[in-house]
């Protein structure tokens, strides 16, 4: 076996080929072409169930899992999770549109965001979203104005910044001093905003929101965030008499990408137990009823449910090493460029072979850093071989980077119902569909050169 | 005046507003909405003319300017340059499709690329492209096979890697040791490939191609590359009797982004003079006729011809500083994330005011590094103000990063013919146009939670 596998949905069949949920991935690539995203419906459901079970076991209050659609907004994926009971967390108007299009019930949509204008709040209130997370005072007053104009109550959480140290890549640490998100607790800014908010007529403040960052592999920062929120609730309750109905701890649960991490994934049960304990004991001490907890996982639900299949276009020997050129590129895997993300690679059609050489995987794009993976131990790879790039479900398709006009690949979903195309690939005509060449230019003749 | 201006197309009008080619940018934003790309046809033409003039003055042979469409493949932009006489340099099949759609004559298209499969070479030969640049031996033999099958001659340049030190960001240095592009000169690999190529039947080798990197502000590396090519020509001529008809030096000419650079742009005349001298004297010494020179500028032609207009959504005070939230984001400016690119910002509707405070500009996206510009001196900015982000013509639209499902903005072109919409914005429906939710999922009911 080359490459290590992140979960039990993968196996190697009699022909030595990698399978997912029993489907031969080489056959799928043959039928649908490459590059191709393949998503497992079964794994999506199981990831959701694990989260729900963990909190059912450890928290006596209600726990809501809101899928952060920004991680992967393929509509069929949102739909599968919504059918299981997940809420949707949407950050922008277009994400809200997608959740609604996928049939998520508006009252199960949580609208977060960084700096919404009146039109966006109006759209959200008209759609009847369940909760709106407000980021800072200017937003609060805009929302009050719009809600008043529409004559509807806005159900609101206020986002606070606990200004912690968060152990992750600085690009994706949010609950840190100096970040653009939320109102600051330590300086007293957050308390002041709650005081303002509680005096409003149309904004009904129901709770507190925070989000500390992404790709966090340890439970401890979440426990610390929960603890800081309890401390803030004590202040809010003591000074303003506020009793939160919701406590939203955001998302950010990491997933294993490297083989050595597969054995020690993020411990959901430990998270549920420790966070529940902090909140339950804290609220008991304050004499408050247990809040509804909200979590907004994105990566944790989708990352390991989707893979990218890529064909080997060629093998290039250079004085400094061997490049395997794929028809996939860093366009499809922008986290490689943004946070130096590692993705595990498996040689699908020779999955039973042991590694024998060291290679780097390159995409066909016109820049030097279009390198997908460096110095990987693989069996001997030949042109035409098929590679599976694992755990690409989060922030790959939804953070597509466009270089060299490479069109977006299609996505198929695997389930007991068969292989279904759930997103077609982009065509060449899609790429130019928004362009107009003014007739005066199109009918002109070139200047003699 | 706040912000400094990169070229004479910009001015400030009587109302204290920034104008481009005489058009009031605040009026344009009012009419077309924001975010909005605005491109100057005049500036595109002038940039092309400057390049052509420089080589007309200093090179007695022919010099071909091939626009690297990867920099910005808005069809109207390609069209404007093609009408001036520019060739198009396309790196992939989709870029070739765009150049053809924009009406570039096939014989004026140069097809470069990293690892093409047979189908891509077939497409290029059937379209009748002028020249194909081959990257390494496997490509060479694929092209020979396809050309033979079609019975057409393939007019070819071979890409060599001079393995130099290139003074630019490592992500975009290409002609360096260990890069994935081209065949290596120092190790003798390049000579061997030419020997192989010259023995083929359908591949007709006409010259040598190299490209050393992007955003290079000094002339010297290009002179060094030219000098290394002349050295290689001497070897090729001496050992194989090869006489190159074309010498392609690639692109990579930098443009000024920071105000302090506006006074000392890349010196095109110095480039033309020094490169011409090296090649002319070298070829004379070898007793060879002057080659046609090819250059593949992208950034140099389009960067300062396009700006992005953005509206101020809100102003947020935090304990660590003041954030100005814009409706533009790092999605529209991915070089900020990829190479820490600086873009100059001007307060359009108060362009005559002096700076008075220090602010950072943030986009509305859900990650911490969605920060467009840090610690800029600006006049006091209020919600609703209009910001021009300058020199975004290269690798912004064409390297669009999709986060939070933010749709792509439209582009208008300014000319003496008026303001023309040349690319419409993406709609919400565009974002979901490729999705299918299988009926079995769409008609299912959610599980009780």
- Tell me the C-alpha distance between B193 and B334, whole Å: 37
The CATH number given to whatever domain includes residue A329 is 2.40.37.10
**Statement to judge: residues B278 and B375 lie in one domain:** no
Judge whether A328 and A291 are in contact, CB under 8 Å.
no
CB contact under 8 A, B428 and A180: no
Cα first-last separation, chain B:
60
Looking at residues A268-296, what average pLDDT do you find? 97
**Statement to judge: residues A340 and A407 lie in one domain:** yes
B115 tagged catalytic: no
- Domain-embedded: residue A443: no
CB contact under 8 A, A115 and B364: yes
Q: What is the pLDDT of residues B138-154, one digit of tens each?
A: 999 999 999 999 999 99
pLDDT of residue A2: 67
- Tell me the C-alpha distance between B408 and B423, whole Å: 10
Looking at residues A39-64, what average pLDDT do you find? 98
Computed from CA positions of residues A25, A70, B38, B260, in that sequence, does the dihedral angle turn out positive or negative? negative
CB contact under 8 A, B440 and A421: no
Looking at residues A45-65, what average pLDDT do you find? 97
CB contact under 8 A, B79 and A441: yes
pLDDT of residue A166: 76
For residue B166, pLDDT beyond 80 = no
Domain count, chain B: 2
The A residues from 94 to 153 touching B (CB cutoff 8 Å) are 94-95, 97-98, 101-103, 105, 112-117, 135-136, 138-139
Looking at residues B420-442, what average pLDDT do you find? 95
pLDDT of residue B444: 83
**Statement to judge: residues A291 and A352 lie in one domain:** no
CB contact under 8 A, B94 and A139: no
**Statement to judge: residues B378 and B278 lie in one domain:** no
Minimum-distance CB partner of B94 among A323, A431, A442 = A431
- Tell me the C-alpha distance between A430 and B77, whole Å: 18
Q: What is the pLDDT of residues B307-316, one digit of tens each?
A: 999 999 999 9
Judge whether A304 and A393 are in contact, CB under 8 Å.
yes
- Domain-embedded: residue B438: no
pLDDT of residue B263: 85
Looking at residues A150-179, what average pLDDT do you find? 84
β-pairing, A109-111 vs A87-90, is: parallel
Looking at residues A203-222, what average pLDDT do you find? 94
For residue B449, pLDDT beyond 60 = no
- Domain-embedded: residue B92: no
Looking at residues A49-55, what average pLDDT do you find? 97
What are the φ and ψ backbone dihedral angles of A379, each rounded to 5 degrees?
A: -65, 170
Which site among A182, A251, A314, A321 would you substitute to test the B interface, given the most B Cβ atoms closer than 10 Å to its Cβ? A314
Looking at residues A249-275, what average pLDDT do you find? 93
Q: How far is CA A262 from the centre of its chain?
A: 19
Computed from CA positions of residues A110, A116, A117, A120, in that sequence, does the dihedral angle turn out positive or negative? negative
The number of C-alpha atoms within 13 Å of A394 and in the hemisphere containing its C-beta is 24
Q: Looking at A300-417, which runs of residues are DSSP E strands?
A: 306-318, 321-326, 345-347, 357-362, 371-378, 386-389, 411-415
B253-282 burial by CB neighbour count: b if 16+ within 10 A, else e? bbbbbeeebbeebbebebbbbbbbebbbeb
Computed from CA positions of residues B95, B98, B102, B105, in that sequence, does the dihedral angle turn out positive or negative? positive
* Number of other CB atoms surrounding residue A439 within 10 Å: 9
CB contact under 8 A, A91 and B400: no
- Domain-embedded: residue B266: yes
Please list every residue in chain A whose beta carbon sits closer than 8 Å to the beta carbon of residue B408: 434
Please list every residue in chain B whose beta carbon sits closer than 8 Å to the beta carbon of residue A83: 441, 444-447
Minimum-distance CB partner of B316 among A138, A442, A448 = A138
Q: Is B438 on the interface with A (CB under 8 A)?
A: yes
- Domain-embedded: residue A441: no
- Tell me the C-alpha distance between A74 and A76, whole Å: 6
Please list every residue in chain A whose beta carbon sits closer than 8 Å to the beta carbon of residue B69: 405
For residue A385, pLDDT beyond 60 = yes
CB contact under 8 A, B138 and A315: yes
- Domain-embedded: residue A54: yes
Tokens of B388: 């021009």
- Domain-embedded: residue A440: no
- Tell me the C-alpha distance between B104 and B81, whole Å: 9
- How would residue B54 be classed by pLDDT, with cut points 50, 70 and 90? very high
User: Domain end: A277, A302, A327, which one?
Assistant: A302
Task: Give the mean pLDDT of chain A.
Answer: 94
pLDDT of residue A34: 98
Computed from CA positions of residues A281, A282, A286, A291, in that sequence, does the dihedral angle turn out positive or negative? negative
Judge whether A157 and A207 are in contact, CB under 8 Å.
yes
Task: Give the mean pLDDT of chain B.
Answer: 94
Report the alpha-carbon angle B396-B298-B83, nearest 5: 110
For residue A449, pLDDT beyond 70 = no
For residue A139, pLDDT beyond 90 = yes
Q: Catalytic residue, from B8, B201, B318, B366: name it.
A: B366
**Statement to judge: residues A279 and A354 lie in one domain:** no
User: Domain end: A302, A318, A349, which one?
Assistant: A302
Q: What is the pLDDT of residues A321-343, one digit of tens each?
A: 899 999 999 999 999 999 999 99
**Statement to judge: residues A59 and A133 lie in one domain:** yes
Minimum-distance CB partner of A83 among B97, B184, B444 = B444
Cα first-last separation, chain A:
60
Closest CA to B250 of B289, B296, B286: B296
The B residues from 340 to 369 touching A (CB cutoff 8 Å) are 362-369
Minimum-distance CB partner of A83 among B84, B85, B441 = B441
Please list every residue in chain B whose beta carbon sits closer than 8 Å to the beta carbon of residue A80: 441
Among A289-303, A306-320, B115-129, B433-447, which stretch is predicted with the lowest mean pLDDT?
B433-447
pLDDT of residue B210: 94
Tokens of A4: 């290590």
Looking at residues A149-178, what average pLDDT do you find? 85
- How would residue B448 be classed by pLDDT, with cut points 50, 70 and 90? low
CB contact under 8 A, B441 and A371: no
**Statement to judge: residues A144 and A249 lie in one domain:** yes
β-pairing, A357-362 vs A345-347, is: unpaired
Closest CA to B40 of B305, B301, B435, B416: B305
Judge whether B266 and B215 are in contact, CB under 8 Å.
no
- Domain-embedded: residue A1: no
Please list every residue in chain A whose beta carbon sits closer than 8 Å to the beta carbon of residue B381: none
**Statement to judge: residues B121 and B191 lie in one domain:** yes
Give B14→chain A minimum CA distance, Å: 30
Give A365→chain B minimum CA distance, Å: 7
* Portion of chain A with pLDDT greater than 70, in percent: 98
Please list every residue in chain B whose beta carbon sits closer than 8 Å to the beta carbon of residue A98: 405, 431-432
**Statement to judge: residues B164 and B198 lie in one domain:** yes
Q: What is the pLDDT of residues B257-304, one digit of tens each?
A: 999 998 888 999 999 999 999 999 999 999 999 999 999 999 999 999
CB contact under 8 A, B70 and A403: yes
Looking at residues A250-255, what average pLDDT do you find? 94
Q: Could you give the dihedral angle defined by the CA atoms of residues B180, B186, B188 and B191, in that order, rounded to the nearest 10 degrees?
A: 80
Q: Which helix (H) or strand (E) holds B287?
A: none
Q: Would you give the DSSP letter of residue A424?
A: P
CB contact under 8 A, A362 and B180: yes
Report the alpha-carbon angle B283-B288-B292, nearest 5: 75
Residue whose token pair is 């491109």: B39
β-pairing, B63-68 vs B87-90, is: parallel
The CATH number given to whatever domain includes residue A116 is 3.20.20.10
* Portion of chain A with pLDDT greater than 90, in percent: 86
pLDDT of residue A1: 62
* Number of other CB atoms surrounding residue A370 within 10 Å: 22
Tell me the DSSP string of A79-140. Answer: HHHHHHT-EEEE-SHHHHHHHHHTT--GGGEEE--SS--HHHHHHHHHHT-SEEEE-SHHHH
For residue A26, pLDDT beyond 80 = yes
**Statement to judge: residues A35 and A160 lie in one domain:** no
Q: What is the pLDDT of residues B167-222, one digit of tens each?
A: 777 767 777 777 788 888 988 999 999 999 999 999 999 999 999 888 999 999 99
Computed from CA positions of residues B171, B177, B178, B180, in that sequence, does the dihedral angle turn out positive or negative? positive
**B427: nearest CA partner in chain A:** A94
**Statement to judge: residues A292 and A318 lie in one domain:** no
CB contact under 8 A, A402 and B398: yes
A123 or A449: whose pLDDT is higher? A123
Minimum-distance CB partner of B70 among A79, A383, A404 = A404
Q: Is A217 on the interface with B (CB under 8 A)?
A: no
Which site among A177, A434, A447 would you substitute to test the B interface, given the most B Cβ atoms closer than 10 Å to its Cβ? A434
- Tell me the C-alpha distance between A118 and A140, whole Å: 11
Q: What range defines the domain where residue B238 resides?
A: 113-295
**Statement to judge: residues A427 and A278 lie in one domain:** no
């Amino acid at each position: 076996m080359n490459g290590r596998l992140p979960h039990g949905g993968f196996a190697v069949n009699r022909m030595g080929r990698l399978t997912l949920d029993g489907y031969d991935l080489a056959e799928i690539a043959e039928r649908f072409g490459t590059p191709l995203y393949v998503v497992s419906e079964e794994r999506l459901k199981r990831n959701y169930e694990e989260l729900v079970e963990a909190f059912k076991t450890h928290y006596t209050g209600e726990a809501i899992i809101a899928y952060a659609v920004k991680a992967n907004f393929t509509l069929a994926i949102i739909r599968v999770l919504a059918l299981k009971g997940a809420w949707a967390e949407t950050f922008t108007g277009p994400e809200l549109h997608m959740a609604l299009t996928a049939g998520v019930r508006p009252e199960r949509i949580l609208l977060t965001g960084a700096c919404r204008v009146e039109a966006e709040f109006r759209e959200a209130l008209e759609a009847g979203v369940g909760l709106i997370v407000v980021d800072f005072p200017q937003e609060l007053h805009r929302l009050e104005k719009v809600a008043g104009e529409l004559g509807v109550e806005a159900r609101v959480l206020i986002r606070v910044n606990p200004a912690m140290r968060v152990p992750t890549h600085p690009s994706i640490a949010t609950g840190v001093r100096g970040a653009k998100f939320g109102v600051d607790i330590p300086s007293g800014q957050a308390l002041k905003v709650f005081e303002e908010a509680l005096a409003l007529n149309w904004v009904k403040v129901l709770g507190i929101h925070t989000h500390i960052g992404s790709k966090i592999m340890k439970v401890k920062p979440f426990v610390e965030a929960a603890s800081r929120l309890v401390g803030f609730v004590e202040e809010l309750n003591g000074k303003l008499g506020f009793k939160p109905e919701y406590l939203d701890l955001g998302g950010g649960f990491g997933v294993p990408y490297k083989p050595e991490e597969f054995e020690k994934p993020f411990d959901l049960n430990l998270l549920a137990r420790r966070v529940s304990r902090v909140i339950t004991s804290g609220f008991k001490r304050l004499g408050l009823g247990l809040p509804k907890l909200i979590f907004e996982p994105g990566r944790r639900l989708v990352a390991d449910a989707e893979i990218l299949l890529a064909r080997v276009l060629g093998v290039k020997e250079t004085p400094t090493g061997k490049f395997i050129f794929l028809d996939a590129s860093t366009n499809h895997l922008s986290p490689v460029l943004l946070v130096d993300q590692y993705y595990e690679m498996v040689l699908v059609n020779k999955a039973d072979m042991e590694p024998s050489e060291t290679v780097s995987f390159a995409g066909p794009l016109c820049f030097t850093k279009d390198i997908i993976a460096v110095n990987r131990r693989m069996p001997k790879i030949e042109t035409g071989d098929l590679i599976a790039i694992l755990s690409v479900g989060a922030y790959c398709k939804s953070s597509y980077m466009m270089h060299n006009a490479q069109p977006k690949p299609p996505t198929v979903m695997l389930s007991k119902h068969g292989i279904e195309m759930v997103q077609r690939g982009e065509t060449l005509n899609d790429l130019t569909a928004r362009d107009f060449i003014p007739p005066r230019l199109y009918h002109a003749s070139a200047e003699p050169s």
